[in-house]
Structure 1
Amino acid sequence: MSDVGDGVSLLSQGTGYGVIIGLGILFAAVILFAVKIQKLYLMEDSGRSEMFMVANRSVGTGLTCSAVFSSWMWINETVFSSVVCYQFGLAAPMWFGTGLSFQIALMAVLGVLAKMRAPHAHTSLEIVRKRYGNSGHVVFTALNLINNIFGCSSMILAGSQLVVGITGMHLAAATILIPFGVVLYTAVGGIKATFLTDFLHTTIAIILIIFFTLSVLTNEHIGGLGGLYDKVTASAADHYVVGNYAGSLLSFKSKGAIMFGLILKFGNLALVTMDTAFWQKSFASEVQSTVPGYDLAALAIFAVPWGLGTVFGLSARVIEKLPVSPTYPQGFTAAEVASGFVMPYTIKALLGSGPTVGMLLLLFMAVTSTVSSSMIAVSSIISFDIYRTYINPKATDKQVVNVSHLGVVFHGIFISGFALMLSYGGANISWVNYFSPILTCPGIFPLIFTLMWSRQSKPAAIVAPILGLISGVSVWLATAQSIYGGISFATTVELAPSLYGSIASLFSPILYSVIISYFTPERFDWREFLRIDLVQDESTLSVSDLSSPDESVAAYSTPNDKEQEKTSLAVNAVERPVENSAADGSATPATELVHPLDEKALQDLRRWYKIAWIFLIVIVALTFVVWPMPLYRDYIFTKPFFSGWVTVSIFWQFFALLAVVVYPVFDGRHEIAKSVQGLRKSLGNQLGGKNR
Structure 2
Amino acid sequence: MPVELLSQATGYGLIIGLSVAFCIIIIGAVKIQKRYLSEDSDHSEMFMVANRSVGKGLTASAVFSSWMWINESVFSAAYTYKWGVALPIWWASGLSFQIALMAILGIVAKLRVPYAHTSLEFMRRRYGSYAHGVFILLNLVNSIFGCGSMILAGSQLVTGMTGMHVVAACILLPAGVVLYTAVGGLKATFLTDFLHTTIALILLLYFAIAVLTSEHIGGVSGLYEKVRATDDYIEGNYAGSLLSFKSKSAVLFGLVLKFGNLALVINDTAFWQKSFASEVNATVPAYDLVSIVILAVPWCTGTIIGLSARAIEHTPVWVGYPSTLTLTEVNSGLVMPYVLKSLLGTGATTGLLVLIFMAITSTVSSSMIAVSSIISLDFYRTYFNPHASDRKTLQVSHIGVLCHGVFMAGFAIMLEYAGATNNWSTYFRPIVSCPAIVPMMLTILWSRQTRLAAILSPILDLVSGLATWLSLSWYWSGAININTTQDQVPGLYGAIVSFFSPALYSVVISLTISPARFDWREFLRMELIEEKSPISSQAPSIRASRTAISKGEGFSVVNGDNEKQAPYQVTVPASHVPARLRKYATVFFVCNVSVTIILWPMPLYRDWIFTKSFFSGWVAMAIVREFIALGAVVVYPVYDGRHAIAKAVRGILAERRKGA
1:313–1:416 distance in 2 versus 1, CA, 3 Å: same
| Residues 1:144 and 2:146 aligned together | no
Q: Report whether the alignment pairs 1:641 with 2:614.
A: yes
Relative to structure 1, is the Cα distance of residues 240 and 683 closer, same or farther in structure 2, using a 3 angstrom cutoff? same
- Who is 1:607 aligned against? 580
Q: CA deviation at 1:539?
A: 4.7
For 2:527 and 2:573, how far apart are their aligned partners in 1? 22
Partner of 1:376: 369
* Residue in 2 that maps onto 1:536: 530
Match of 2:516 in 1: 522
Q: Does the 8 Å contact 1:277/1:376 carry over to 2?
A: yes
Paired with 2:551 and 2:67, the residues of 1 have a C-alpha distance of 40
Matched-pair contact (CA < 8 Å) for 1:9–1:167: yes
Aligned length: 645
Does 2:387 match 1:394? yes
Task: Give the aligned residue type for 1:331.
Answer: T
Structure 1 residues 635 and 14: alpha-carbon distance in aligned structure 2, compared to 1, 3 A threshold: same
State the alpha-carbon separation in 2 of the partners of residues 379 and 137 from structure 1. Answer: 16
The answer for the alignment partner of 2:461 in structure 1 is 468
1:652 corresponds to 2:646: no
Unaligned runs of 5+ in 1: 1-5, 544-570
Residue 508 of structure 1 corresponds to which residue in structure 2? 501
Q: CA deviation at 1:683?
A: 2.1
Return the alpha-carbon distance in structure 1 between the equivalents of residues 80 and 548 of structure 2: 57
| Contact 1:580 1:594 survives alignment (8 Å) | no
Q: Letter of the 1:375 partner, please give it.
A: M
Match of 2:213 in 1: 218
Q: CA deviation at 1:99?
A: 1.4
- Aligned-residue CA RMSD (Å): 1.7
From 441, 444, 449, the counterpart of 1:448: 441
Answering whether residue 331 of structure 2 is matched by residue 354 of structure 1, we say: no
Q: What does residue range 54-203 of structure 1 map to in structure 2 within 5 Å? A: 54-203=49-198
CA distance in structure 1 between the aligned counterparts of 2:83 and 2:126, rounded to whole angstroms: 45
Q: Distance in 2 between matches of 1:181 and 1:253?
A: 43
1:188-587 equivalences under 5 Å are: 188-235=183-230, 238-520=231-513, 521-540=515-534, 543=537, 571-572=538-539, 576-579=540-543
Name the residue aligned to 1:27.
22
Distance in structure 1 (CA, Å) of the matches to 2:224 and 2:476 = 36
Q: Give the deviation of 1:626 after TM superposition.
A: 1.1
Is the alpha carbon distance of 1:512 and 1:672 closer, same or farther for their aligned partners in structure 2, counting shifts above 3 Å? Answer: same
Letter in 2 for 1:676: V
Equivalent residues of 1:380, 1:404 under 8 A apart: yes
Amino acid at match of 1:578: I
Distance change >3 Å, CA 593–CA 346, structure 1 → 2: closer
Gaps spanning 5+ residues in structure 2: where? 557-570
For the Cα contact (< 8 Å) 1:88–1:241, is it kept in 2?
Answer: yes
- Distance in 1 (CA, whole Å) between partners of 2:40 and 2:533 is 15
- Displacement of 1:221 in angstroms is 1.4
**Distance in 2 of aligned mates of 1:239 and 1:45:** 58
| Contact 1:396 1:538 survives alignment (8 Å) | no
Cα deviation, 1:372-399, whole Å, max 9, x if unaligned, reads 0000000000011000000100011111
The separation in 2 between residues aligned to 1:580 and 1:167, in whole angstroms, is: 57
Q: In structure 2, what residue type is equivalent to 1:93?
A: P
Q: 1:385 to 1:303 in 2, by over 3 A?
A: same
Q: Using the aligned pairs only, state the percent identity.
A: 60
- Report Cα offsets for 1:283-310 as digits up to 9, x if no partner: 0000100000111111110111001001
Q: Residue 480 of structure 1: CA displacement?
A: 1.1
Q: Kindly state the Cα deviation for residue 324 of structure 1 after the two structures are TM-superposed.
A: 2.5
**Partner residue, 2:560:** none
In the TM superposition, what whole-angstrom CA distance separates every residue of 1:375-426 from its partner, at most 9, and x where no partner exists?
0000000011000000100011111111111110111100000001101111
User: Alpha-carbon deviation of 1:590?
Assistant: 9.5
Task: Report the CA distance shift for 1:648/1:541 in structure 2 as closer, same or farther (over 3 A).
Answer: closer
Deviation at 1:435, TM superposition (A): 1.1
Alpha-carbon distance between aligned partners in 2 of 1:619 and 1:592, rounded to the nearest angstrom: 31
Deviation at 1:684, TM superposition (A): 2.2
| TM-score (ref. length: structure 2) | 0.96
Question: How has the CA–CA distance of structure 1 residues 577 and 254 changed in structure 2, closer, same or farther, with 3 Å as cutoff?
Answer: same
**Alignment partner of 1:633: what SS?**
coil
Secondary structure class of the residue paired with 2:517: coil
Assess if the C-alpha contact under 8 Å between 1:240 and 1:247 holds in 2.
yes
The answer on whether the counterparts of 1:96 and 1:264 sit within 8 Å (CA) in structure 2 is yes
CA distance in structure 1 between the aligned counterparts of 2:552 and 2:596, rounded to whole angstroms: 42
Question: Is the 8 Å Cα contact of residues 53 and 279 (structure 2) preserved in structure 1?
Answer: yes
CA distance in 2, matches of 1:383, 1:357: 39
Q: Residues of 1 paired with 2:168 and 2:535: CA distance?
A: 46
Q: After superposition, what is the alpha-carbon deviation per residue over 1:213-262, rounded to whole angstroms, capped at 9, x for unaligned?
A: 00111111111111111011111xx3211111111111111111111110
DSSP-derived class of the 2:143 partner: helix
Task: Summarize the Cα distance change of 1:670–1:334 in structure 2 as closer, same or farther, 3 Å threshold.
Answer: same
- 3-state DSSP class of the match of 1:427? coil
* 2:186 maps to amino acid: I
Q: What is the CA distance between 1:433 and its match in structure 2?
A: 1.4
* Alpha-carbon distance in 1 for matches of 2:406, 2:536: 39
Look up the equivalent residue of 2:198 and give its one-letter code. T
AA aligned to 2:77 is S
Would the aligned equivalents of 2:155 and 2:170 in 1 still touch at CA under 8 Å?
yes
Give 3-state SS (helix, strand or coil) of 1:220's partner.
coil
C-alpha distance in 2, partners of 1:284/1:92?
A: 34
Other-structure match for 1:618: 591
- TM-score scaled by length of structure 1: 0.91
Q: Letter of the 1:75 partner, please give it.
A: I
Deviates more, 1:105-114 or 1:311-320: 311-320
Asked if the contact 1:119–1:596 (Cα under 8 Å) also holds between the matched residues in 2, the reply is no
Give the SS at the match of 2:489. helix
Alpha-carbon distance in 1 for matches of 2:74, 2:462: 29
Q: Relative to structure 1, is the Cα distance of residues 7 and 241 closer, same or farther in structure 2, using a 3 angstrom cutoff? A: closer
| Residue 568 of structure 1: aligned partner | none
The residue aligned with 1:554 is none
Asked whether the 8 Å contact 1:530–1:593 carries over to 2, the reply is: no
Q: Report the residue type matching 2:130 in the other structure.
A: S
Write the distance in 2 (CA, Å) between the matches of 1:599 and 1:461. 28
Aligned to 2:563: none
Q: 1:327: Cα distance to partner?
A: 2.5
For residues 168 and 685 of structure 1, what CA distance do their matches in structure 2 show?
52
Tell me which amino acid in the other structure corresponds to 1:527: R
Instruction: Give 1:594 deviation, angstroms.
Output: 9.4
The answer to whether the 8 A contact 1:438-1:472 is kept is: yes
CA 1:591/1:222 → structure 2, altered by over 3 Å: closer, same or farther? Answer: closer
Post-superposition shift, 1:443?
A: 0.3
Structure 2: how far apart are the matches of 1:286 and 1:524? Answer: 27
Give how far 1:325 is off. Answer: 2.2
Deviation string, structure 1 residues 129-149 (Cα, Å, up to 9, x no partner)? 000000010000001100110
CA distance in 2, matches of 1:207, 1:24: 20
Deviations 1:474-511 (A, max 9, x none): 11111112222222221111111111111111111111
Q: Which amino acid aligns with 2:417?
A: Y
Q: CA deviation at 1:593?
A: 12
Contact 2:554 2:573 in 1 (8 A): no
- 2:645 equivalent in structure 1: 672
Give me the whole-angstrom Cα distance separating, in 2, the residues matched to 1:542 and 1:9: 54
**318-327 vs 291-300, which deviates more?**
318-327
